[in-house]
Amino acid sequence: MSHPGSDGSPFKDGFAALWHEPALLAAELTWRWCFGFAAWALSIISCGLFLDSIKISPAEEFLLGTFQPQLLSEAVQHIFRGSLTRFVLEQSVLLLGVTLLWCFAATVGRAATLRRLVAMFSADDEPSPMTWQFVPIFVLHLLRAAWSLIAVSVAIACLIIGGVMAGKGRAGVAALWLVFGTGMACWFGATLNWFFGVAPLFCIRNGGSAMDALGQSVDFVSRRGSRLFLLGLGFLPLRLAWLGTMTLAMFAPLSLARHLAAGWVLLIMAAIALLYFAGADLLQLARLAAYASLAEDDAHPVPAPQATNPPGPLPAPEADQPAEIAPAVDSA
């Protein structure tokens, strides 16, 4: 692993950091998977409690058993009549709780991994002790979650409005909402989400507040935008190749459905899905380590070698002058 100021590549440094410190990947998988399992468990329990509270009459059960689309629609509307508002409120509270849980888990996990990464790439022989910076990182994750929800809501609203305009025969306005509106919402959402994701690195490195770290991340992009773009191009093919490979591998067990029970097929697909998430987390952590290496290089740039002028021609030696003869003095 190259040190700041060397000729090493941040792309190589990202993977070298994981090879040098395997515990980083273990810590990353721990906090991500603990949150994921907790979120899925809360969602399943919430939906189960809601469905358990719904009463189905014999007539509605008969309509559901007909499997006729029109009768099914009428039965579902009658079943959820008066309960849809309660379901929306319950899911809103669940979404708020899961968001706060993610902010807390991401704050603890990201602070732990970033402290180690910054210490590994530090150019100082005796680096100053770093603080955990829990509060600024938690604020950044809250802002990131809020902005992501806003961007998704705006994108969905643009899709709905575009669909309504297309139904009214206003193709130009519909195309504007569907293409321009949805595209801009996704672009702004992804851009600010990236800034909020990189800002915790500067909270750990410089010990600043959330807004200071966000401003430092913007300055970092303005100085190293080309290097960051090349890093993104380097990691993008890896992510796409991993996604395509594991997608094919995930659907491959379906061919065994004639020989294995459905439960075993689903278990194999779940194991492959977990393997995909582990690889995706590894690439994400390697990219974060590459950002830490590049940030250290940015803070300690390599001094440019001073140009030395070539030695000029030596001056020609002066010709030997004859020694002056002292005039003779007559003695008085």
pTM of the model: 0.81
Evaluate whether residue 317 is within a structural domain: no
Range in 84-98, 142-156, 190-204 the model is least confident about: 84-98
Q: How many other CB atoms sit within 10 Å of the CB of residue 49?
A: 10
The first and second tokens of residue 299, run together, are: 């803070």
Q: 289 lies in a domain?
A: yes
Higher pLDDT, 227 or 83: 227
Residue 1 lies in a domain: no
DSSP string, 144-199: HHHHHHHHHHHHHHHHHHHHHHHHTT-HHHHHIIIIIIHHHHHHHHHHHHHHHHHH
Cα–Cα distance measured from residue 314 to residue 293, given in angstroms and rounded to the nearest whole number: 48
pLDDT 10s digits, 182-218: 989 999 989 989 999 999 999 998 888 899 999 999 9
Q: Which domain holds residue 254?
A: 10-297
Q: How many domains does the chain have?
A: 1
**pLDDT surpassing 70 at residue 323:** no
Give me Rg for the CA atoms of the chain: 33
- Where is average pLDDT lowest: 82-86, 107-111, 181-185? 82-86
| Angle in degrees, CA 184, 190, 195, rounded to 5 | 125
pLDDT band at 65 (very low <50, low <70, confident <90, very high): confident
pLDDT of residue 76: 76
Distance (Å, whole) CA 58 – CA 50: 19
Does residue 104 carry a pLDDT above 90? yes
d(CA 276, CA 281): 9
> Would residue 316 count as lying in a domain?
no
Residue type, 261: A
User: Where is pLDDT greater, at 147 or 256?
Assistant: 147
- CA 23/CA 116 separation, integer angstroms: 10
Residue 231 is assigned to a structural domain of this protein? yes
Better pLDDT: 62 or 125:
62
> In this structure, is residue 310 part of a structural domain?
no
**Is 134 a member of any domain?**
yes
Q: Which of 4, 1, 2 is nearest to 303 (CA)?
A: 4
Contact predicate 25/18, CB 8 Å: yes
Q: How confident is the model at residue 37 (pLDDT cuts 50, 70, 90)?
A: very high
pLDDT of residue 82: 67
- Per-residue pLDDT at 260: 82
Using an 8 Å Cβ cutoff, are 90 and 48 in contact?
no
170 has a pLDDT exceeding 90: no
Residue 331 lies in a domain: no
DSSP secondary structure letter of residue 252: G
pLDDT score at 331: 47
Tens digit of each residue's pLDDT (9 = 90 or more) over 302-320: 555 554 555 555 555 555 5
Residues 101/39, Cβ–Cβ less than 8 Å: yes
The residue that leads in pLDDT, 88 or 281, is 281
User: Which pLDDT score is estimated for 305?
Assistant: 52
Euclidean distance between CA atoms 83 and 77, whole angstroms: 10
Using the predicted structure, report yes or no on whether residue 143 has a pLDDT greater than 90.
yes
